[in-house]
Amino acid sequence: MTPAYAIPPEFGRDVRHWRTWSLVAGGVLFLGSILGGIFNPDQFFRSYLLGYLFWIAFPLGAMALVMVQYLTGGAWGVISRRPLESAMRTLPVIAVLFAPIFIGMRVLYGWSHGDVVAADAALRHRHVYMNAASFMIRTVVYFAIWLAFAHLLTKWSDEEDARGNRLRSLAALSAPGLIVYVFTMTFASVDWAESLVNNWSSTIWGFIFVIGQGLTALAFVIAVLAVLSRRQPMAPVAGPRIFHDLGKLLLMFVMLWAYFEFSQLLIVWAGDLTDEIPWYLPSFKTSWRWFGAALMVLQFVVPFLLLLSREVKRSSAALCSVAAIVIAMRFVDLFWIVMPAYHEFGVHVHWLNFSVPLAIGGLWIAAYLWELQRRPLLPLQAPNLEEALSHARH
């Protein structure tokens, strides 16, 4: 079975070609963005935070989906495991790429300025928790935990390939792993995004980010499998039934995202509290409202209606198109979350908002492609592999 599901030499050459171009493009865009940042450092760091929050969703969401699959089983997870694991294994790269946010902390966060804290009662109350030193310590702890889980999941998966059944161990690790991921991502989302607005708080904020990351990673793996399904050895494996399963899962994530977003809006608006309503006011009373309308239509209504169709879910090309819309709107969603903190009177678009995220993406995709070609495209000794292959072929 091993030779059958290893990446063929010609496909390996294509992957190396894509990886090289991605790395070159990312490097060139990074240099250009740094040059732009010399003239406008505030905009550079804001754009970097936006891009970083977008790209970190791919490895973290992938890790969460891998753990979900170990707990639930299912053919979709066996076939998509290697592409998801490859994304998860890029976490060390993402951890290193956090460094510019440390450097630009005083540009990004009002609570990092002593005079701002002294003038705001809420910030003085939070200062014991929300200060530069504790921010950096917590970030290091988050990544240490995520890297530890990613390492164990990868190591035991490789051992499963080498020696056979480790499914119970992987499931036993995944149960607490998912809980820890939700808690750590909740705290991280508060630190990195919620604290952009000094007096804003939301008890559902972490769940919005968790669901958003799962949605991003799932849409991404659908796109990857759509490409792989056109080539050997995955052509007979990644068939309509697998895409149908992934399409149903994508529909669930789309509905969950809409549910959490609407729940937050409903609770905040009904509460009518002066420390919560102001977060929404720029989004409703300025040109930012068009971003909110686009999110409602293109991240919920359009994907929801398309994914109700069985034909769309069973077609790799059609489902990949829906996934592309979702990924694009994930970027728009984060733009809508981050940028009003700096431009509350209306939309402000700068070329760095695109060049910096694309630069991070070029580097991340190069790392992803490098990980993807290192191992066979299927978990060769997974105890439920034959069952998954049988499901995929019928």
Angle at 313 between CA 307 and CA 318, to 5 degrees: 90
Domain assignment of residue 262, yes or no = yes
Domain assignment of residue 392, yes or no = no
Domain assignment of residue 28, yes or no = yes
Nearest residue to 350 (alpha-carbon basis) of 117, 78, 66, 46:
46
Domain assignment of residue 166, yes or no = yes
The set of long-range contacts for 186-191, using a CB threshold of 8 Å and a minimum separation of 24, is 186/210, 187/138, 187/142, 188/138, 188/139, 188/142, 191/130, 191/135, 191/138, 191/139
Q: What is the pLDDT of residues 96-123, one digit of tens each?
A: 999 999 999 999 999 999 999 999 888 8
Q: How many CA atoms lie within 13 A of 294 on its CB side?
A: 17
Report residue 104 as tokens.
Answer: 């630009």
Domain assignment of residue 394, yes or no = no
Q: Could you write out the three-class secondary structure of 92-117?
A: HHHHHCCHHHHHCHHHHCHHHCHHHH
Q: Could you write out the three-class secondary structure of 209-269?
A: HHHHHHHHHHHHHHHHHHHHCCCCCCCCCCCHHHHHHHHHHHHHHHHHHHHHHHHHHHHHH
Q: Which domain range does residue 306 map to?
A: 2-385
Taking the chain (394 residues) in consecutive chunks of 10 residues, what is each chunk's mean pLDDT? 59 88 96 96 97 98 95 82 96 97 96 91 89 97 98 88 73 94 97 91 92 98 94 83 94 97 89 78 86 94 97 96 98 96 92 98 97 86 77 68
Domain assignment of residue 352, yes or no = yes
Domain assignment of residue 391, yes or no = no
CA distance 334 to 327: 11
Domain assignment of residue 197, yes or no = yes
What's the pTM value of the predicted model, to 2 decimals? 0.95
Q: What is the pLDDT of residues 340-379, one digit of tens each?
A: 999 988 999 999 999 999 999 999 999 999 999 888 888 8
CA distance 66 to 301: 27
**Number of domains into which the chain is organized:** 1
